Structure 1
Amino acid sequence: MHQINKWEQAVRLKQNPLTSRNFPETEVFSEDVLQEFLNRSSFVYVKPIGGREGKGVIRISKNSNGIYSINGYTNTGSKMDKECFNMEEVLTFLYSNHIQKSLPNYIIQQGISSFTADGQALGVRVHIQYVKDQWVLGGMLGKLGNQEDGIVNRNRGARALPIRELLLLHLHMNQQEARVVEEKIELLCLEAGRVFHAEHDWLKECGIDIGIDPSGEVWIFEVNMRPSIKFFYHLEDKSVVNQIKKNRLNRK
């Protein structure tokens, strides 16, 4: 089955002038890289190169007292919460529970704060489609998570809401600011589609997870090459999911 793993995604997105500015710093996992990232960022994400549905994704943070917190999910989807008092404990925990030390099967990604004013993790899911020789927007929705780990995934309890509602009510933007953000998200995601399609012409649809930092800047967190549209059915307004289905018919 066709797929583009997270490391290849990172390499391709970093090579493109437009997407590179809005994609978090990402490297293949190693002990040195983990330490280096945590010296520069308050938290990072460690992700399996080929994972889906939020499985295997963990957040590692370090507070002002030097205590590390590990939150997230095992590769089977079980919740993970652990406090460690030094990096040696962190690595011991990861190697015993999560990461195969001998294989480069995980990436480390710079943590980007994407939260509402009251501390709820937020995100945007964007569905793009390749129709009649061009990438088009199928639809987008807002996501609110219920987990402190910042992982905003339908399979991890996130809820869907209209994108405009997310921007206006939860990020307190005005209508003009919201329109600008939506337009930027659309342009960024369509460019990501073109980046991958240039080398993978089998690719017809992408589900792209977007974060929005406190300054209102948007970030590509992840691109799913086998996207489900189930989350769009959670919206009361069915026009978005209907547009996605219409685009699929127009492709034939």
Structure 2
Amino acid sequence: MKNALGKLDQYRLLQNHPLVHEHLPDTAEYTKENLVYFANRYPVVFIKHDTSGQGRGVYKLSKESDHLYSLSGYSLQGKEVDQVMDIDEIHKTLQPFERLGRTQPYIVQEGINSVSVQGQHINIRVHVQHVNGKPAVGGIYGSIAYEENGITNICRGAFAMPMRLLFFIFLKVKKDEQQDILNKLMEVSVAASEVIANHYPCRECGVDLGLDQNLKPFIFEINTTPGMEDFARIDRQMWEQIVANRKKMSDSTK
């Protein structure tokens, strides 16, 4: 049994679901050829290590000129990267030991323009739990990244907040439209979590999503061992709901 479900395996499972596949950015296994294809096709591309977490091994690629690209993000060791290089140099940065037959597993992913009205990058976390065989949304919050690399991981300095603040301050969404967006975010997250739970032994999923310029949700990735510490700071009621759900889940296994 696998210890972790990689990002590429997630994508392959999710793209077969009739609802969820409409909310997935184009994603492929990292190869130099796929990197070239994505870099030519999309204005922004994200390169992510297949199994790493906490924002490590995640890079944002954007075109600077005909042959040069900006690469920004964090290495697998957590070191910040911010350079302008050509594709050959980028590939060597990502796969420094390829000539020795040792490569790292990455994915390449279409960059979704999930930004606030001021241009800050936005991420939304939906915490889905499977209680007594049924999925339940324990909590949801938004986060803003102030860095240009667009990495919205809390461990990399992103600022987390309740959804009402994200809608009101950063997205300027009218109050009567907010619930419809929340409902769609939760619907897509629950459906995606059920797909993952049907193929991988997990009782909770942290679904990370963005919203494009039309406020359509797109799933970035799913964490099968989500933490809940951020909910304790952002919304005590949601944190208590997640704790209560976990207790029900534990009681059901006794």
Matched position secondary structure for 2:95? helix
- What is the aligned-residue RMSD (CA, Å)? 1.9
Query: Counterparts in 2 of 1:14-25, with a 5 A limit?
Result: 14-25=15-26
Query: Counterparts in 2 of 1:17-166, with a 5 A limit?
Result: 17-64=18-65, 66-84=67-85, 86-96=86-96, 102-103=102-103, 105-166=105-166
Matched position secondary structure for 1:35? helix
CA deviation after TM superposition for structure 1 residue 4, in Å: 1.0
CA deviation after TM superposition for structure 1 residue 90, in Å: 2.4
- Whether the aligned pair in 2 keeps the contact of 1:125 and 1:141 (CA below 8 Å) is yes
- Whether the aligned pair in 2 keeps the contact of 1:46 and 1:58 (CA below 8 Å) is yes
Aligned residue identity for 1:4: L
Aligned residue identity for 2:186: E
Q: Write the distance in 2 (CA, Å) between the matches of 1:5 and 1:118.
A: 33
Could you report, residue by residue, the CA deviation over 1:191-246 in whole angstroms, capped at 9, with x for unpaired residues? Answer: 0111011122x3100111111111111110010001111111221x3101111111
In structure 1, stretches of 5+ residues that fail to align are none
Matched position secondary structure for 1:193? helix
Residues 98, 205 of structure 1: alpha-carbon distance in 2 compared, 3 angstrom cutoff? farther
Matched position secondary structure for 1:58? strand
- Whether the aligned pair in 2 keeps the contact of 1:28 and 1:104 (CA below 8 Å) is no
**Does the alignment pair 1:244 with 2:223?**
no
Could you report, residue by residue, the CA deviation over 1:75-127 in whole angstroms, capped at 9, with x for unpaired residues? Answer: 0111111111x322322333338999754611111111111111111111110
- Whether the aligned pair in 2 keeps the contact of 1:125 and 1:209 (CA below 8 Å) is yes
Deviates more, 1:98-107 or 1:70-79: 98-107
Aligned residue identity for 2:40: N
Query: Counterparts in 2 of 1:128-207, with a 5 A limit?
Result: 128-200=128-200, 202-207=201-206
- Whether the aligned pair in 2 keeps the contact of 1:44 and 1:108 (CA below 8 Å) is yes
Q: In the alignment, which residue of structure 1 is the partner of 2:218?
A: 219
Q: TM-score, normalised by structure 1?
A: 0.93
Residues 248, 207 of structure 1: alpha-carbon distance in 2 compared, 3 angstrom cutoff? same
**Percentage of identical aligned residues:** 31
Aligned residue identity for 2:43: S
Aligned residue identity for 2:153: N
Could you report, residue by residue, the CA deviation over 1:126-160 in whole angstroms, capped at 9, with x for unpaired residues? Answer: 10100011010000001011211111011001111
Q: In the alignment, which residue of structure 1 is the partner of 2:227?
A: 228
Q: TM-score, normalised by structure 2?
A: 0.92
- Whether the aligned pair in 1 keeps the contact of 2:95 and 2:103 (CA below 8 Å) is no
Residues 52, 164 of structure 1: alpha-carbon distance in 2 compared, 3 angstrom cutoff? same
Matched position secondary structure for 1:83? strand
- Whether the aligned pair in 2 keeps the contact of 1:160 and 1:232 (CA below 8 Å) is no
Matched position secondary structure for 2:77? coil
Aligned residue identity for 2:143: K
In structure 2, stretches of 5+ residues that fail to align are none
CA deviation after TM superposition for structure 1 residue 67, in Å: 2.8
Could you report, residue by residue, the CA deviation over 1:155-213 in whole angstroms, capped at 9, with x for unpaired residues? Answer: 0011111112101221111112211110000000100111011122x310011111111
Q: Write the distance in 1 (CA, Å) between the matches of 2:98 and 2:83.
A: 12
Q: Write the distance in 1 (CA, Å) between the matches of 2:154 and 2:215.
A: 23
Q: Write the distance in 2 (CA, Å) between the matches of 1:98 and 1:167.
A: 45
Would you say how many aligned residue pairs link Structure 1 and Structure 2?
249
